[in-house]
Amino acid sequence: MHLAQRSHLKKASARRAILAAALCSLPLLFVPVLALAQQSAPTLSLSLAAGQSGPEKISVLLEILFALTVLSLAPSIVVCVTSFTRIIVVFSFLRQAMGTAQQPPTQILTSLAIFMTVVIMMPTGKAIYENAVTPYMDEKISFTDALKRAEGPLREFLFKHTREKDLSIFYSIAKMESPKNKEEVPTIMLAAAFMISELKTGFTIGFMIYIPFLILDMVVSSVLLAMGMMMLPPAMISMPFKLLLFVMVDGWNLVIGSLVNSFT
């Protein structure tokens, strides 16, 4: 009996020793992998040509910094200087007027607004590509000249849809004298005034969209009140009629067509 217990204890001790040795040697298996990872891991380095002078190096670094800044601020720039603001505001008013809380979903409306923005801004983008991007890629003009050329078509679009009243507000805030011509207007101030004008136009179109649905709500409320159904929510009854009215008049075609025509 004692011999059996001793043999069992010896076997258990041997197993524990083997397990401990395996656990101790386990980290050694990762040493070659870590060494290989340290040798083959790519490193990010930014080097300039040895023949460039000091000002040229600074110019290249500034161009890289400017490009990274533009990429990080691209969504905000798209909102500020394109037709996206007016379109998304009108879509929001349309959804509220119809009484559909999340239909169509926000992702669908945003995607549609982006596609419409691309279509509306296509002439401006084409002019920028032909006058600025193509000559710069062909190394015919410098980066600074490309920026100036790209600014021209964009400023023309902004001036076309910006009210002078909105522009004068920012001049009064900045305590600056009124410009004598369009060339004296800073692009940043022009973009800010453009956004105010777009919000005003979007609210105006939204008000026009609200009127027929508001009349329908009033009619449904009056009918329910006359029938003594005061506890029945009018919004729940009027929603099917709103959807029917919107479909019968081909509402999406009217709204999108009106938005596109407002930029021509």
Every domain of the chain and the residues it spans: 77-209
Using alpha carbons, select from 194, 166, 167, 203 the residue that is nearest to residue 88.
Answer: 203
234 HSE (CA, 13 A, CB side): 17
What's the mean per-residue pLDDT of the chain?
A: 75
Query: Which pLDDT belongs to residue 56?
Result: 58
* Inter-CA distances, 68 with 62, 71, 72, 131, Å: 10, 5, 6, 22
Query: Could you give the CA distance from residue 97 to residue 235 in angstroms, rounded to a whole number?
Result: 11
Type of residue found at 240:
P
Residue range 166-200, pLDDT digits in tens: 888 888 887 877 777 878 788 888 888 899 999 99
Lowest mean pLDDT among 106-110, 205-209, 242-246: 242-246
| Alpha-carbon span 81 to 139, nearest angstrom | 27
Residue bearing the bigger pLDDT, 235 or 104: 104
Residue range 131-156, pLDDT digits in tens: 888 887 887 888 778 888 888 888 88
54 confidence band (pLDDT: 50, 70, 90): low
Q: Which residue has the tokens 């161009």?
A: 63
What percentage of the chain's residues is helix, strand, coil (to nearest 5)?
80, 0, 20
Mean pLDDT value of segment 7-29: 45
The pLDDT of residue 55 is 60
Q: Which of 92, 91, 84, 117 is nearest to 191 (CA)?
A: 84
pLDDT at residue number 32: 41
Above pLDDT 90, what percent of the chain? Answer: 1
Highest mean pLDDT range out of 22-26, 54-58, 191-195? 191-195
**Residue 7 pLDDT greater than 60, yes or no:** no
How does DSSP assign 187-206, residue by residue? HHHHHHHHHHHHHHHHHHHH
109 or 102, which is more confident?
109
The predicted structure's pLDDT at residue 58: 67
Q: Give the pLDDT band (50/70/90) at residue 27.
A: very low
pLDDT at position 43 over 60: no
Determine the pLDDT at residue 73. Answer: 76
Q: Yes or no: say if 195 and 85 are a contact pair by the CB < 8 Å rule.
A: yes
pLDDT at 218 over 80: yes
Does residue 211 carry a pLDDT above 50? Answer: yes
Residue 53: the pLDDT is 52
Q: First and final CA of the chain: distance in angstroms?
A: 103
pLDDT of the residue at 42? 46
Task: Tell me what the mean pLDDT of segment 227-253 comes to.
Answer: 79
